Structure 1
């Protein structure tokens, strides 16, 4: 399949899953099987699939045809270029293309001057009023292309302004933009652009990240330590006629080779193979030249030749617009689309389905436990009532008194259960304190201070090492606390099960070890800035401050994710206990009501036993239906509305 077909199929699966999940939620509500933990898990599963995004980042030095490649792969249906790709017109700022149904079609642009302020890029995302907005007409390709041309806009500033913004370094003259006759320097007008449009692929969850050249990438550390590592695939574009140049190699080594995603998710594209189509060479000779360039590029970059694809984006776009199958085949664009589609989307769906399956299994266990508790209570009631056959009124009265005494004793045990909650909450407070934003800020403060100091930062590598050692130690303490809380839950639930006949089962503990892997990757992505080649850039206090903000922004995402896992774990344990307490109180009320009816009517005993037998049968049907519905969610079968089952 092509990338478009794979993404479309992935989107269809997500929509079907969301519908099944909605039907399951309605069914659980209808049968009084919805408790806070189950609701939380359903919401989490819905958000996990609904908000799933597949980010593909396109990275290249200037004039490699990056924007043209984006046009050819994703926007050829408009019959023209959408991203600026003409000579002299190129993307000057990092640009994200995605879709948010709650935001009208528009392009939002963050002024470059925001680099002079302390907020991170993540902070600016939450301040929409600071972005300039231009509405888009997605049904008018001409207006759309004209509006998106704004990402190519530049400003002319003094050297001092360029230096403050991160585009001029006196120590690295070769990296500086050219100085105009008027003494001014050309810099991007915008720091970041967000394009929101209802393109079919973007609606399916695709996010395209279009990055500018080496200078702009290096000047925006949040791009390389936060956005690029989060991309599910990175497409690195080279020019087929030149292969890997010095600046290409710098981008690869400093910003791409250290990424945490799998090597298979990094594709290298040799673009502009049409420049090698030579009428004086035979087709076979041209193919040999292309194959040789692929092999040489793979050797220089240290990757497999299978990860290097050769295409002509310009000819591919032209072929799609003109429906020229022969030219499209010659452009080899389909090979890239297949690599992106089969490799990226297939891998992404497997990961998502695996995560979803675990959530569904936990949901099945939580709900099934509630059904089994009700079934057990009904069986106990039937046995209790069956023992009253042939008994006189005095025996029945004694049974009622015994049930009322059991109820009173159970109500009086609240202090013991509250003690379990108190110990649990005390340990949880310690755990949340270790994962809090304030604690994280404190741990990173020394490193942030070192980064913001002017001049050559000789001790900054040690500051990084010490900071991440402390963060890993904190995470180790958090893992130990999780283990302690889990052991306490297991012991407490075991005692409550034995004393009150509950069927409590501790939920699976959060796996914070994944956060440790994230910390290692974040540290690795930052170490690229501590190399000798970046020493002069790092000496600028403004750059150091941006690097510190990028670090804090990335770490907050990791810690927030850990907190969310802990909160779900806590809610699952607390809701189980609440549900069993609620069911036990209901059970006492039902038993007393049944005895009262038997006392009032001679035929009440048999009638009540028949009612319980009917409820028992209905609960068996409920359990079977629950298994069917959850199995359909995991298997991804056709969407069918659950058959009505009354209880």
Structure 2
């Protein structure tokens, strides 16, 4: 029984694979016709990487015993005919668990020991050290082995109160949140800090990433979850109990980790799970339905959501219904409503954004390539007019033309000194950009923040310190935007001069708009400031906690910087590649013109023969331009077309 979410994700994955195939074929066709310059090649590479690696992360967040793992089983893994994620009574998922697919990694479960919290590295840094993770190989065709392996995410260990405090699970200022102390004075904490599951599940292969988070205490102890992973999820499913509604701890998770006054809630879905606990034989179906609707309305009101963002389901009955193929029970479980919300809301919006990016990229690629074809056509037209003027002329005139072409080439080559000077300034400005957004500056910024947070006692000025840090980071981006604008202005002047002097058709590409990355900064700042509320003020008094928080921020900002640098570098390469392409075409034109005059000198019929060749080349370029429009239009306008419909012979013709 396929669900809308599964079907839509599968269709999206099919489109991504076919689009990547079409991009590859387009690249081969461009290469065959000598149209694959550096800029076009880089753009194709970026587009293919983006469409192949696009991920859709769905974060499931809940306090303990809300049925979160059971819901993941019901939505994603019912096809195995049994539970895969541990979903027994009591606490199941003790550590944050990411489930996805990487074709370069064998099927496995990787577990990061909880003791790594005693060291300063951020979670993102530990990902780069695979030898520190405990690895269990998985047999994807053996559901029993999978389920048994996944049980390890629920493992715990006993530690002293001091050890628990160092690990972030014991807070003297908030005793009500501390774990129970046993007869030996020990407390139970998760054995693992983080889990990564890599399996070739059909949905995961399509780019889905599932983030399964534990309860409030575990979320609060791992700042990177709140300030990085959860905010970047395309959808967050917040799970409550239908029988209890919004409890105090549920409300704490919602307010402290999932929403703030300055962020929207459109990507949030709230699920009232376990509606089967309300199925009472002493109540009529109408009474049960009314009770569920009241609970939904109350929940929406408390959390400040639209009513349609609250969905009531029974994950357990939905899983049973799918495994037993009981359509009536599946309908009663209302699981399909949640799947529709995920598919039609979050997934379709993600697809729309990706396809828009692909369409824009292909349009720009077409413009760059068409410009090269137009240059070739213009050079042929000029050469044809030049040769037409030789009709009926004597050998002296032809010899003079040959000398004139040679002199033009010499003058053109001498103009290269100007280009070299402008390029030197351009590279100098580009180096400034890389310095500003580089690791050295970021390390200094984070060092200042750490210093501000290492003051004694409560960190009552911590928000101010964070605010000042983000102000400086935004100022750096403003400087980068000014430098790229300066580079764009310089290129515009140079391109205009070259267009005037040499008849080029250079067009300075608008510098990158860094507002997208500033928005990422805003989101990072909001998530951090939200985390610095009064409930965490005692945690911030612990140097190791503040250090982990800053390292999480550093990892997030580094990722933003690297993405912005990549964008600026690509823009710079595109400008240089456009110039290089037209310089290369002009030098080729000199060679062709000189070759044509040589042939005319050597044979009386050479002039007419060369004019016929030019006419044929012009026809060929017209056909080339038409084929370019056809191939790129197919990518832009027919995203759902099947790979089989692509004429591979034509594409490679």
Calculate the TM-score normalised by the size of structure 1: 0.98
| Structure 1 match to 2:194 | 192
How far apart are 1:560 and its partner, in Å? 0.8
| Structure 1 match to 2:619 | 617
Q: 2:227·2:531 contact (CA, 8 Å) conserved in 1?
A: no
Question: Partners in 2 of 1:67 and 1:421 — Cα distance?
Answer: 57
- Judged with a 3 Å threshold, the aligned counterparts in structure 2 of structure 1 residues 52 and 261 are, in CA distance, closer, same or farther, namely farther
Counterpart mapping for 1:371-382 below 5 A: 371-382=373-384
Query: What are the Cα deviations for residues 90-129 of structure 1, in whole angstroms up to 9, with x where unaligned?
Result: 0000000000000110001111111111211111111111
Counterpart mapping for 1:82-231 below 5 A: 82-88=84-90, 90-231=92-233
Counterpart mapping for 1:10-25 below 5 A: 10-25=12-27
Query: What are the Cα deviations for residues 202-258 of structure 1, in whole angstroms up to 9, with x where unaligned?
Result: 000000000000000000000110100110000000000000000000000000013
Structure 2: state its 5+ residue gaps.
none
| Structure 2 match to 1:602 | 604
How far apart are 1:259 and its partner, in Å? 9.5
Q: 1:158·1:184 contact (CA, 8 Å) conserved in 2?
A: yes
Structure 2 counterpart SS, 1:263: coil
Question: Partners in 1 of 2:453 and 2:114 — Cα distance?
Answer: 22
User: What is the aligned-residue RMSD (CA, Å)?
Assistant: 1.4
| Structure 2 match to 1:320 | 322
Q: 1:584 aligns with which of 572, 583, 586?
A: 586
Question: Partners in 2 of 1:20 and 1:515 — Cα distance?
Answer: 30
Q: 1:240 aligns with which of 239, 242, 259?
A: 242
Q: 2:29·2:652 contact (CA, 8 Å) conserved in 1?
A: no
Question: Partners in 2 of 1:261 and 1:199 — Cα distance?
Answer: 33
- Judged with a 3 Å threshold, the aligned counterparts in structure 2 of structure 1 residues 445 and 259 are, in CA distance, closer, same or farther, namely farther
How far apart are 1:644 and its partner, in Å? 4.2
Question: Partners in 2 of 1:449 and 1:51 — Cα distance?
Answer: 38
Q: 2:58 aligns with which of 56, 59, 64?
A: 56
Structure 1 counterpart SS, 2:157: strand
Q: 2:436·2:476 contact (CA, 8 Å) conserved in 1?
A: yes
How far apart are 1:435 and its partner, in Å? 1.4
Structure 1: state its 5+ residue gaps.
none
Query: What are the Cα deviations for residues 591-615 of structure 1, in whole angstroms up to 9, with x where unaligned?
Result: 1111001101111111111111111
| Structure 1 match to 2:490 | 488
| Structure 1 match to 2:527 | 525
How far apart are 1:532 and its partner, in Å? 1.7
- Judged with a 3 Å threshold, the aligned counterparts in structure 2 of structure 1 residues 645 and 284 are, in CA distance, closer, same or farther, namely closer
Question: Partners in 2 of 1:235 and 1:328 — Cα distance?
Answer: 20
- Judged with a 3 Å threshold, the aligned counterparts in structure 2 of structure 1 residues 162 and 220 are, in CA distance, closer, same or farther, namely same
Question: Partners in 2 of 1:588 and 1:297 — Cα distance?
Answer: 75
- Judged with a 3 Å threshold, the aligned counterparts in structure 2 of structure 1 residues 153 and 488 are, in CA distance, closer, same or farther, namely same
- Judged with a 3 Å threshold, the aligned counterparts in structure 2 of structure 1 residues 372 and 638 are, in CA distance, closer, same or farther, namely farther
- Judged with a 3 Å threshold, the aligned counterparts in structure 2 of structure 1 residues 40 and 174 are, in CA distance, closer, same or farther, namely same
Question: Partners in 2 of 1:66 and 1:323 — Cα distance?
Answer: 22
Question: Partners in 1 of 2:208 and 2:486 — Cα distance?
Answer: 41
Query: What are the Cα deviations for residues 141-169 of structure 1, in whole angstroms up to 9, with x where unaligned?
Result: 00010011110111111111111110111
Q: 1:512·1:562 contact (CA, 8 Å) conserved in 2?
A: yes
Structure 2 counterpart SS, 1:198: coil
| Structure 1 match to 2:647 | 641
| Structure 2 match to 1:510 | 512
Calculate the TM-score normalised by the size of structure 2: 0.97
| Structure 2 match to 1:337 | 339
How far apart are 1:433 and its partner, in Å? 1.6
How far apart are 1:366 and its partner, in Å? 0.8
Q: Does the alignment pair 1:270 with 2:272?
A: yes
How far apart are 1:642 and its partner, in Å? 5.0
Q: Which moved more, 1:312-321 or 1:436-445?
A: 436-445
Structure 2 counterpart SS, 1:244: coil
Q: 2:257·2:531 contact (CA, 8 Å) conserved in 1?
A: no
| Structure 1 match to 2:556 | 554
How far apart are 1:443 and its partner, in Å? 2.2
Structure 1 counterpart SS, 2:10: helix
Question: Partners in 1 of 2:255 and 2:90 — Cα distance?
Answer: 27
Query: What are the Cα deviations for residues 254-311 of structure 1, in whole angstroms up to 9, with x where unaligned?
Result: 0001398752211000000000000000000000000000000011111111100000
Structure 1 counterpart SS, 2:112: strand
Q: 1:621·1:645 contact (CA, 8 Å) conserved in 2?
A: no
Q: 1:267·1:308 contact (CA, 8 Å) conserved in 2?
A: yes
Question: Partners in 2 of 1:27 and 1:212 — Cα distance?
Answer: 50
Structure 2 counterpart SS, 1:238: strand
Question: Partners in 2 of 1:74 and 1:449 — Cα distance?
Answer: 45
Counterpart mapping for 1:412-427 below 5 A: 412-427=414-429
| Structure 1 match to 2:392 | 390
Q: Which moved more, 1:371-380 or 1:637-646?
A: 637-646
| Structure 2 match to 1:451 | 453
Question: Partners in 1 of 2:418 and 2:326 — Cα distance?
Answer: 77
Structure 2 counterpart SS, 1:456: coil
